[in-house]
């Protein structure tokens, strides 16, 4: 009898289907992850800012926090990641570098330095709805 799938002896059709489905799913997932920035926002949610009490202290990345510089804290993004943060109410945006962990308040997705918050125009209100784009 001729093998309908040459080179795949000892593997059942169900196992082959599982492998092909996994491979196809992985290709789709990788395509989505690598094109997120080009297709829109990576994450939308509330941003807050932190300043004077933390000025001069070490961040989670080991850098000294300078509240006047443009940086941010994010719970999961790798240190050094550059992110465009856009205030969805005003359209103002700023590019920050992730150098700390946080925010630690439920519902918040990013903690901005005072300098970044000032550029976005959210210092007085304290929080704003923002969109994050990976760069």
Question: Which pLDDT tens digits describe the chain residue by residue (135 residues)?
Answer: 555 555 556 667 777 667 656 666 554 544 444 444 445 789 999 999 999 999 999 999 999 999 999 999 999 999 999 999 999 999 999 999 999 999 999 999 999 999 999 999 999 999 999 999 999
| Same domain membership, residue 115 and residue 52 | yes
- The answer to whether 103 and 77 have CB atoms below 8 angstroms apart is no
| Same domain membership, residue 71 and residue 27 | no
| Same domain membership, residue 126 and residue 62 | yes
Domain count across the chain: 2
**In residues, how long is the chain?**
135
| Same domain membership, residue 45 and residue 30 | no
What residues contact residue 113 under an 8 Å CB cut-off, 6+ apart? 49, 50, 51, 65, 66, 67, 68, 69, 70, 71, 72, 96
| Same domain membership, residue 47 and residue 30 | no
| Same domain membership, residue 64 and residue 114 | yes
| Same domain membership, residue 52 and residue 27 | no
| Same domain membership, residue 58 and residue 26 | no
């Amino acid at each position: 009898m001729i093998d309908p799938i040459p080179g795949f002896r000892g593997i059942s059709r169900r196992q082959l289907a599982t492998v092909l489905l996994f491979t196809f799913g992985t290709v789709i997932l990788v395509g989505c992850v690598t094109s997120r920035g080009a297709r829109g926002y990576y994450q939308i949610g509330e941003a807050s800012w932190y300043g004077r009490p933390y000025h001069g202290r070490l961040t989670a990345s080991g850098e000294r926090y300078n509240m006047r510089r443009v940086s941010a804290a994010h719970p999961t993004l790798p240190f050094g990641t550059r992110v465009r943060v856009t205030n969805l109410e005003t359209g103002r945006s700023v590019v920050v570098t992730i150098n700390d962990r946080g925010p630690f308040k439920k519902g918040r997705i990013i903690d901005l330095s005072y300098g970044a918050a000032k550029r976005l125009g959210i210092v007085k209100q304290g929080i704003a709805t923002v969109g994050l784009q990976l760069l």
